[in-house]
Amino acid sequence: MGKDRSNSVWKLEGRTIVLPGGSGMLGREVFRALIECGAKVAALVRDPSKAGFLKDEMAKGPGKGMILKADVLDKESLVESKERILGEFGEIYALLNFAGGNVPEATTSPERSFFQLEELALRYTIDLNLMGAILPCQVFGKAMAEKGEGVIVNVGSMAGFRPLTRTVAYSAAKAALANFTQWLAVHMAMEYSPGIRVNAIAPGFFHTKQNHYLLFDESTGGLTPRGKAILAHTPMGRFGSPGDLVGAVLWLLSPLSSFVTGAVIPVDGGFSAFSGV
C-alpha cells in the first residue's frame, strides 16, 4: 500500500494503539498500516517468538512498535502490559481487539454432531471471542476513561449478523460481541466522555491460511462447495484479503469518524446486503 500513509488524513502519527491479536494474518496487516501511519503500536501476542515479522515492520518505521506477551483471557497479563505500554509510550489512544478464532472441537461436521460438541471447546471459543474483547476493554478502556479520550474497535464477523452453519459457539460469541460493542459505546460516552468512541468491524469471508482448505479443495485447488456458496452470495464475487480491512480500521481510528460510535461496519463485499435473489 506504500509509505504515503505517514502524511495522510488519518492523523495517527504519535498515537499509541494497543493491538491484541497482532500476530494473526489480519492483525499483522493492520499493524503494518499503523506503523506506516507513524503510530506507536503495542502488539499483544501469546508467543512473541512467532512474531518476527512484526519486528521487521517495526524496523521500517516511521512509527514505533513493541511486542508484549499477553493473553486476552488473563486479566493480570493485560494489566502488566498496560503498565509497560504507559511506561514506554506515555499514553493509550486506541484499542483494536483482533484476538479471536474458532476450534474444530466447537464446530459441527459430518463426524461431529451438535450433540457431540465438547463443553470445554464451546466455553473456550465463547470466552476467546467475547471475554477476549471485554477484558481488554476493561483494562485499556479504563485508561481512556481517565483522560476522557480514546477509540475502541472490536473485530466481529459476518457470523454475528447471520449464524453460519457449523460454527456454533463462534457465531453466538460474535453476535454477543456486536451487542457488547453498542452497549459499551453508550456507556463510555454517557458515563465518562463523548470523546471515547466504541465501534466494530464485521469482516466477511477472508482468505487466510487458517481457512484455505475450507474454501479451496486440497487436491484440485478449485473451490470447495462451501467456497462456491460463499462467492455465490457475495455480490463483489471474491474473498476478502487482509488489506481490505485497513481502510475501515483507519477510518474508525481517525478524526474522520468523530461522530461515529456504536456502529458495526460490515467489510464483506456485500454479503450481508444480498438476499440471494
Catalytic site residue 170?
A: yes
Q: What residue has cell string 456504536? A: 262
In angstroms, the Cα distances linking 9 to 13, 84, 197, 250, 253 are: 10, 29, 19, 10, 11
Round to whole Å and give the CA distance between 189 and 229.
Answer: 40
Question: Measured between alpha carbons, how far is 192 from 97 in angstroms, rounded to an integer?
Answer: 21
User: How far is CA 185 from each of CA 141, 195, 199, 245, 261, rounded to the nearest angstrom?
Assistant: 11, 11, 7, 21, 6
Three cell numbers, residue 228: 462456491
**Given the residues 93, 170, 192, 213, the one annotated as active site:** 170
Q: Which residues are catalytic?
A: 170
